[in-house]
Amino acid sequence: MTQQHAPTRRDDDADVIVVGAGPSGSTAAYYLAQAGLNVLLIEKSRFPRDKVCGDGLTPRAVKSLIAMGVDVSEEAGWLRNKGLRVIAAGVRLELDWPELSSWPGYGLVRPRSSLDEQLARRAQAAGAKLLEGTTVTGPVLDDNGRIVGVEATPETEEKSKSRSRSGNAERAAGASVTYRARAVVAADGNSSRLSVAMGLAKRDDRPMGVAVRTYYTSPRHDDDYLESWLDLWDGKRLLPGYGWIFGMGDGTSNVGLGMLNTSEAFGKTDYRELLKRWLKSMPEEWGYVEENRTEPIRGAALPMGFNRTPQYHKGLLLAGDAAGMVNPFNGEGIAYAMESGELLARVVAQAMARPTRAETERVLRTYPEELQAAYGRYYTLGRVFVELIGRPKLMRYATSRGMHHPQLMRFALKLLANLSDPRDGDASDRIISVMTRLAPSSR
C-alpha cells in the first residue's frame, strides 16, 4: 500500500495555527516555534487586553514562566508572595508555599493585560508569527471533515487606527482570509467557538465555576500573601466557593469571589451583589468601598477537570480553558493553561517530524493520553472534592475543624495547589502521591 505523505506547505501557510494568544496559546506557540515549526498565532484582540482573572500565580505558574525565559524579578514589575493566607471560622493562617525542588518557593502577581502580552511577545521572539485584531470565524475542512485551516477576518487598518485614538472596542472586519496548516490548536478560551464548530461541546458531568472580580485602591496593595476567605456567605447560606484579596503592588487590590456549580445557588445568585455584600464586612480602612473601585465588576466562567473532550479531534488540539483545564480544587487556570500548551507542543513537534501522514496522525492521537497521564487522576480527586464542598454542612464542618489544625491546612495547601513532590517532600507529599495513584483516570 502506498503511503500518503503530508501535503506541501504553501508560502502563506503554517505548520501549526494556534487560535488564541492567552497563556495556553502563546505557550504552545513558543515551544512549537522553538522546535523549528512554522507557527501562526491568531489573536482576536490587540494587546494590551484584559481578561477576568485573580492575577495571582502559584509556584506552578512561576515554574512555567521561568522555563519560557520570562524575567520574573521584582525589578521587571512582578510582585512576589510567600504563600496563602487563609481566613475562616474566625481564624487566620499564613501558609507558606512549600520548599521543594520541583517548584519555586514563591508565587507572583501580575495583571493579565501585562502577563498575556509578555507571553505573546515571547512566542514572537521564538519565531511565531502573531496576528492581532484577527477573528477566526470558522474551520476549513477537507473532504473527510478534518480541519486543515481556518477562516479569519482581520480588523481593517483604518478601524484599528481609529480605535487606538478613541479607545472604542468595536472592530470593523476586513475581507475574510483563509489560513491553512497541518494542525490547528484551539486555545480560544472557555467558549471555544472553534471547538464547537468542530462538534466538541462542553461536558455536563464536569464541574464548572464562575468568578467575578474588580479592583480597589487600597493600602493593602503590597501584601506579601495571597488571601483566601473560605467563609463565603450570601447572607443566609455558606456557599461552596471562596473570596480572595490579592495585592497588586500598584496601589490596588484585586478582589473577587468564585463559586462552584455544585451549589444550589449556582446560576441563581447575583454574583456582583454578593461581592458587594461580602466586602461590606471588611474593615473600612482597607478601602474596599465603591468610591475606591477603579474597574467594573466583571465575571467569567471557570471550565474545570477536562470539561471538553476529546482534546484531539480530526486535526484539532485543545489547550487551556478550551479543554476545561482549570484545577477543580482551587480554580487555578494559568498554570495548567501553560503546562498544557507546552505538553501539546511536544506532541505536535514529534508528530510533524514523522515522514507520513498516517504516522503524524498516530502521534497526534496520543495527546489526550498525555493529558490524562499528567492530570487525569488528580482531576478525578478534584471532582470528588467539588461534590463534597457542595454540601453546606460538610463545608462548614471542614473549615471550622481544619482551621484549628495548621498541619492539616498545610497538607490541604499542597493538595489543592497541586504542589507536592514525593521525592524530596515529607509524609504529606507521599500521602498525596498515593491518593493520586489510587484515583481512577478522568475519562
Q: What is the mean predicted confidence (pLDDT) over 388-412?
A: 84
More confident call, 263 vs 36: 36
Residue 208 has pLDDT above 50, yes or no: yes
Residue 334 identity: I
CB 56 within 8 A of CB 226: yes
Identify the pLDDT of residue 398.
82
Decide the pairing of beta strands 14-19 and 177-186. Answer: parallel
CB 431 within 8 A of CB 421: no
Q: What is the mean predicted confidence (pLDDT) over 99-109?
A: 95
Quick check: helix, strand or coil at residue 180? strand
pLDDT tens string 354-387: 999 999 999 999 999 999 999 999 999 999 998 8
Task: Give the confidence band of 184 by pLDDT, cuts at 50, 70, 90.
Answer: very high
| pTM > 0.75 | yes
- Give the side-chain half-sphere CA count within 13 A for 439: 22
Average pLDDT, the chain: 89
Q: What is the mean predicted confidence (pLDDT) over 388-415?
A: 85
More confident call, 394 vs 64: 64
Task: Give the confidence band of 207 by pLDDT, cuts at 50, 70, 90.
Answer: confident
DSSP 390-412: TSHHHHHHHHHHHTT-HHHHHHH
User: Which uninterrupted H or E stretch holds 8?
Assistant: none
- Which cell is 98 given? 512549600
More confident call, 278 vs 63: 63
Residue 277 identity: R
Identify the pLDDT of residue 393.
75
Task: Give the confidence band of 4 by pLDDT, cuts at 50, 70, 90.
Answer: very low
Identify the pLDDT of residue 261.
81
Q: What percent of the chain is predicted at pLDDT more than 70?
A: 90
Residues 143, 146, 151, CA angle at the centre, nearest 5°?
95
Identify the pLDDT of residue 89.
85
Identify the pLDDT of residue 262.
75
331: nearest Cα among 277, 371, 386, 402:
386
More confident call, 234 vs 128: 128
Residue 60 has pLDDT above 80, yes or no: yes
User: Which uninterrupted H or E stretch holds 270?
Assistant: none
Identify the pLDDT of residue 232.
76
Identify the pLDDT of residue 160.
53
Identify the pLDDT of residue 237.
67
User: First-to-last CA distance in the chain?
Assistant: 35
More confident call, 266 vs 428: 428
Question: How many other C-beta atoms lie within 10 A of the C-beta of residue 260?
Answer: 23
Identify the pLDDT of residue 269.
78
Q: How many angstroms separate the CA atoms of 310 and 315, rounded?
A: 12
DSSP 63-86: HHHHHTT---SGGGT-EEE-EEEE
Residue 443 has pLDDT above 90, yes or no: no
87: nearest Cα among 237, 289, 243, 224:
243
Report whether CATH 1.10.10.10 matches the domain 14-80+108-204+304-379.
Answer: no
Identify the pLDDT of residue 404.
87
Q: What is the mean predicted confidence (pLDDT) over 57-61?
A: 97
Residue 10 has pLDDT above 50, yes or no: no
CB 428 within 8 A of CB 410: yes
Identify the pLDDT of residue 234.
62
